[in-house]
Amino acid sequence: MAADIRHTGAPVLILFGPPGSGKGTQAKLLRQRLKGPHISTGDMLRQHINAGDEIGRRAVQLIKAGKLVPDELVNELVRERVSQADCCAGMILDGYPRTLNQAAVLLKLLEEHGFRPAVIHLVVDYERIVARLSGRRQCPVCGTLYSLTTNPPKAPGICDLDGAHLVTREDDRESVIRERLREYDSQTVPILNFFREAGVPMLEVGAGEASPEQVLQKIWDGLTSAGLIADAAPEVGAAPSGLK
């Protein structure tokens, strides 16, 4: 049975960031600082598919038919998840919402439960993203990833481990990266505007040149200023702070 977690006042951090912004890394780091779970709709769908339950079967049928999972099903997943007891202290949402419909449903749901949402938008110069991702190479044999700028192979184009010729993954081709960034803008900008107009606190955090720990500190400072966490930003590696 779902727990009654209304009127908790706990924070819900809604993460946005373009491909290559380090959003997944920040979700994991924030999870270490906060008491609530990191919720990814993609992970939840995979869990239901692996379990073979009704939601999983519906999702598989849609995917096999080449269709997107509809908002109604995704919203159902999130509604069920945020009603669970481990969300009482708040949570981190990653990959949701992806549409204006989902955003509207989410705000209503969080209001019903008494949560306080905040949007964290990781901002990175797109040319930097293109340069970094298009400079990745992978060994087709062992799967090792290299970066031509930060972690190059000892011999150009050759895997250090097995001597295989490195390849560029399809997702790392410049044309593909730029298309993904265009899709991100077209999908995300309207949702960010929706939250902004709804009065949801929004933190725009520069994530291009800073280390993951420095980005985390910027986020924590912003959350503190917004009154969403109780204490000042902790040093990296410190014990988790309490939440307001």
- 116-123/202-206 β-pairing: parallel
Structure tokens at 100: 């204006």
Q: Annotated catalytic sites, by residue?
A: 23, 98, 136, 169, 180
Q: What is the DSSP letter of 171?
A: G
How many CB atoms sit inside 10 A of residue 212's CB?
14
Structure tokens at 118: 């905040």
Between CA 216 and CA 225, with CA 222 as vertex, the angle to 5 degrees is 145
Residue type at position 138: Q
Angle between helices 71-82 and 100-113 (to 10 degrees): 20
Kindly report the backbone phi and psi dihedral angles of residue 12, in degrees, each rounded to the nearest multiple of 5, phi listed first: -120, 115
Structure tokens at 82: 């945020």
Structure tokens at 77: 């997943």
Residue type at position 244: K
Q: What is the DSSP letter of 172?
A: G
Query: How many residues does the structure list for the chain?
Result: 244
